[in-house]
Amino acid sequence: MAPSKKKHASSQPCIIPGGFTVLPLQFSSDSVAQHSLYVKEHRVRAERSSHRPLDRTLFVLNIPPYCSEDVVKDLFSQFGCVESVELRDHPGTFWESGPRLSKVFKPVAKQGFKVGYIVFQNSSSITAAKSHPHDVPLVVCTEQRPVRTGVQKWIQQYRQSFINPDKLQQIVDSFMTDYDKRKEEDAERQRKEIEQQQEDEEGWVKVTRGPKGTKARPHSEAANKRTLHKEFRKKKRKELMNFYTWQHRNTQKEHIAELRKKFEEDKQRIALLRAQRKFRPY
């Protein structure tokens, strides 16, 4: 006997507008309530990170708070071998700068629904996840993978918050060793820049080519200090020269005042001759 059309339709994946496939999620096998995950192949033109290959990354929305990265990895391992899982508060590009801090120094993560990026080893795993039937829910908590919630989860987090002092000391020592190493590298790089940009006898600065793909920087901190010192000395010499320039300017002002005085006297003389009608220009 052939299966009914209703049963056949329910075994098909559920696709909603936007290209998302709905995956039902159930906390345990005896739970009545179900949750929905929305998955889609990660295809973003602006994505340049190698941590999210466009042909092997699955974008997941509406991940509940009780699902950690390990739980998500185990859930989606049934579709294929999972390479990495990344959970974030909001979707966005992969961004990471500076040294990676230990979880001891990281702030407490926000509790709420997450978005995830699941990277598979094979691109066929994405097709398998998108083809998952809508009437077969993914079970979060099993005997092989127990997931704690509520008070049990809080007690577990509280116990895990205590760190062994020896382990903490090792983490701090490792971080400080890396920090000292970076400081030494920066000091060595600055020393090399100063040596390469030493002024010759005529005051010229040798500009060297930087690493491949970067622009040359002719001015270092030491070169800037030398330039400021030269400007200061030049300003001092200019102030001394301005003393004599002030005298010269004063003489010029006096000469101009004298010429204006003579001009006014000539104007008065011409006006007097006009009044006496004895002005004969030719």
Tell me the per-residue pLDDT of 161-190, one tens digit each, with 9 for 90 and over.
788 888 888 888 888 899 999 999 999 988
What average pLDDT score do residues 236-243 get? 64
Q: Is residue 44 part of a domain?
A: yes
The CATH number assigned to the domain holding 128 equals 3.30.70.330
Residue 56's pLDDT band (cuts 50, 70, 90)? confident
**Average model confidence (pLDDT) across the chain:** 77
Mean pLDDT for 237-259 is: 75
* pLDDT-based confidence at residue 1 (cuts at 50, 70, 90): very low
Domain that holds residue 38: 10-150
pTM above 0.75, yes or no: no
pLDDT in tens, 101-153: 566 666 666 778 889 999 999 989 888 888 888 888 888 888 888 887 778 87
In a domain, 223, yes or no: no
Question: What is the total count of domains within the chain?
Answer: 1
The 3-state secondary structure of the chain reads CCCCHHHHHHCCCEEECCCEEEEEEECCCCCCCCEEEEEEECCCCCCCCCCCCCCCEEEEEEECCCCCHHHHHHHHHHHCCEEEEEEECCCCCCCCCCCCCCCCCCCCCCCCCEEEEEEECCCHHHHHHHCCCCCCCEECCCCCCCCCCHHHHHHHHHHHCCCCHHHHHHHHHHHHHHHHHHHHHHHHHHHHHHHHCCECCCCCECCCCCCCCCCCCCCCHHHHHHHHHHHHHHHHHHHHHHHHHHHHHHHHHHHHHHHHHHHHHHHHHHHHHHHCCCCCCC
In a domain, 56, yes or no: yes
